[in-house]
Structure 1
């Protein structure tokens, strides 16, 4: 089994003369947490959209687990185990916490869209759903309606539903965006915990989070790779500090 799970080769996306992603070569090693960072407009989310085929590349290739997936449809890529969460909370607010996770698990039964099936047909998924909720610290809230959850717990639930899809690669898009300090800490520790034995690629703006859990960091600027390495290397790279500027540059230097 190759140690490289995901690789892009000269990945490029142009929009009518504007190049949002420009020749990005990215290598994500199996069993690691890899962070994609950069100033606003650097091309991070566009990269995610290319990897999950919400956008078609203008040029370049995407290799996943040794297979060229550049021209595959989004559903086919998801079936390979490339599962993504989004910046905006995406739970079903009027279902319970348990029901949200169980929807993700229904794929195993082939009944994801069979909403007319009886409750009894879903009972085989109950135990596994509870296991996943326990893994993300939400087991005590299993029967809570999601609309009543705090923002941080909703993001934890999204990670549980992502895990329910049995991901080979988890793509987490700004998992701590909009959170207070306590929720940031809780979700950071959650990502560290669920990443054991898994591979995570995350877009993240919070340098405290990145410095704490990322094995490898790729820095983008204007759609191109500016630097790559561990946090100690990246945080002292003059080009990275110049790209972030001001207070963000200070935070890169001050967090170790």
Structure 2
């Protein structure tokens, strides 16, 4: 693998009961960039994410991450290697505080990831780092707020903090601005730009304004296959992309 690329796939494909959801996807994600997967509904974007994080095993093709073949790796192995995913639906604990959520994500450093019975005192050593992460995403003033009481945009920011707690080299972000108002979109866009300064981001995103503002390179999927790839200016000028999104090349 070219060391410039943190993630590559070659001929990646996935079939479900005779239906081809992903077909011959060859993807190259450069280190230190923000790379977007875009395409109309049903294009195969989330299935590609599911293959990368091993929710599904590929039917064919290979995947290489950080110089290692991960085609048959297990999900936990992928996460330990530093490829961490956030989901479309906020995946935080609603009846815990923001601080407690981040602290749970930090527990793997203590080897207590699944030991919820451990004394709270044993986790307090993580508070300093948890607060640092909350400050990074602008949530330090909400440290003791129960997540269920937080606005949607702040919940998504908290999810980014819990993802960062796992020290990812590559963050896979699935629709990070979905369902947000303009103010929250602007906040999360700025946050993604900030966290991407020291890591690579691969994102699925429907908001093309966000894609245009953030992304260094864009891969357009249609019917499970790559339609085109390039900068935002290049892909937005492609009549096939306009046709895929709007049903017309005009």
User: Would you say same fold, with TM above 0.5?
Assistant: yes
Quote the residue 2:167 is aligned against. 166
What per-residue deviation string (whole Å, max 9, x for no partner) do you get for residues 35-83 of structure 1? 0000000000000000000001000001001110000111111110110
CA distance in 1: counterparts of 2:86 and 2:200, whole angstroms: 14
Residue pairs, 1:58-69, within 5 angstroms = 58-69=59-70
Note the alpha carbon deviations across 1:99-121, whole angstroms, 9 max, x for none: 00000000111011112222221
- The TM-score with structure 1 as length reference comes to 0.95
Following the alignment from structure 1 to structure 2, what is the Cα–Cα distance between the partners of residues 246 and 60? Answer: 31
In the alignment of these two chains, the number of paired residues is 249
1:110 matched to 2:111? The reply is yes
Matches within 5 A, 1:107-256: 107-245=108-246
Match of 1:254 in 2: none
Q: What is the DSSP-based 3-state SS (H/G/I as helix, E as strand, rest coil) of the residue aligned with 1:22?
A: strand
2:118 alignment partner, SS class: coil
Distance 1:84 1:116 in 2: 26
- Give the TM-score of the pair, scaled to structure 2: 0.97
CA drift of 1:2 comes to 1.2
Structure 2 gap ranges (5+): none
Q: Report the equivalent of 1:253.
A: none
1:246 is displaced (CA, Å) by: 5.8
- Runs of 4+ off more than 4 Å: none
Are 1:56 and 2:53 matched, yes or no?
no
Q: CA RMSD in A?
A: 1.3
Q: CA deviation at 1:16?
A: 1.5
